[in-house]
Amino acid sequence: MKRRDFVKRGALSTLGIAAAAGIGSVASAARAADWRSERRWETPPGATAATAPPSATAATTLPRQHRFQLDYAPHFGMFRNSAGEELLDQLRFMHDQGFRSIEDNGMRQRPIDEQDAIGRELERLDMRMGVFVANSNGFGVPSFTSGDEDHRARFLADCRDSVEVAQRVDAQWMTVVMGDLSPRLELDYQTANAIESLRRAVEIFEPHGLIMVLEPLNPYANHPGMFLSKIPQAYMICRAVDSPSCKILFDIYHQQITEGNLIPNIDMAWDEIAYFQIGDTPGRDEPTTGEINYKNVFRHIHGKGYDGVLGMEHGNSGRGIEGEQAVIDAYVEVDNF
């Protein structure tokens, strides 16, 4: 659906914007800071989104545009040395390299005029918007597992706000991070509390055709103590919620660390997977820098008929323009299956 049609449909909705209430705890702030530092490579909200034609600082000498078999989505900041700091110049550079989507975890925190400018440029370039993060209470608190009604209300307010953001940038998917474990509750009670929150959220998203994707995060290298860590667990939850608006974000980096067995797990959870993210391990940089055989994984995903987005949620192993070109070259290599 084109952005202008999506915006028109959203204007007819009775859903409003609800502000997320409350200030997170010190623990929540620390965990959120850890998450942001993990995504050190991203351009944060507040960076400039130019509304003018490409600036003189943007790269003008480009290699021949590559035609990828899968739809890989870079993020803002990944090519800042080649394209310049302005976000729309970065979008144009990505398009010139053959990429046809982008993802931006921090889109919901960007100013509305910046979101609008990005949405217009994506439409002009015929590029898709991948995920942004929908909820503000995903780290440092048992926001889903505790059953606490204040946590639930904040999550649902974030969902209503995310509908408005999705309309501005023509997004279909948004990441939901499911918070910490509740150590005083049996896991089954925690799971039931989480399912109840998600069932309420799909009532917000379903009328708009939007999909929240639940992201299991590895507990070993990055996110100890969080509720959702494995694909079978996410699969069970999605089956229980039973909605086209609640699916799995299969982050290949996280799942290689947590459980491995990537291709069999992709097959077993396939009906509930709506989005993939990429990163090699160790290091969480571009494919070919770690242990994952991405060419085989991508061949398998392509062979199953996947036509969605694969987010490039990783850093660059090299610095400067040379490091950015190495990222592009790595995707050309692993897409050659």
Query: Model confidence over 139-192: pLDDT tens digits?
Result: 999 999 999 999 999 999 999 999 999 999 999 999 999 999 999 999 999 999
Q: Which has more pLDDT, 54 or 313? A: 313
pLDDT, average across residues 16-25: 36
Tokens 């299956």 map to which residue? Answer: 337
Give the pLDDT confidence of 226-284 residue by residue, as tens digits: 999 999 999 999 999 999 999 999 999 999 999 999 999 999 999 999 999 999 999 99
pLDDT category of residue 5 using cuts at 50, 70 and 90: low
Q: Which two tokens stand for residue 304?
A: 């199953």
Does the predicted TM-score (pTM) go above 0.95?
A: no
State the DSSP code for 55: P
* Domain limits, the chain: 3-11+34-51+62-334
Average pLDDT over every residue of 295-320: 98
Nearest to 272 by CA among 237, 307, 227: 237
pLDDT classification of 313: cutoffs 50, 70, 90:
very high
The residue ranges of DSSP E strands in 43-155, in sequence order, are 71-73, 101-102, 128-129
Q: What is the pLDDT of residue 83?
A: 98
Binned at pLDDT 50, 70 and 90, residue 24 comes out as very low
In the chain, % of residues over pLDDT 90? 81
Residue 59, H or E segment:
none
At 330 the pLDDT is 98
Nearest partner of 280 among 243, 326, 230, judged by Cα? 326
pLDDT level of residue 56 (50, 70, 90 thresholds):
very low
CATH number of 3-11+34-51+62-334: 3.20.20.150
Q: Is residue 301 predicted with pLDDT exceeding 90?
A: yes
Question: What pLDDT, on the 0 to 100 scale, is given for residue 48?
Answer: 60
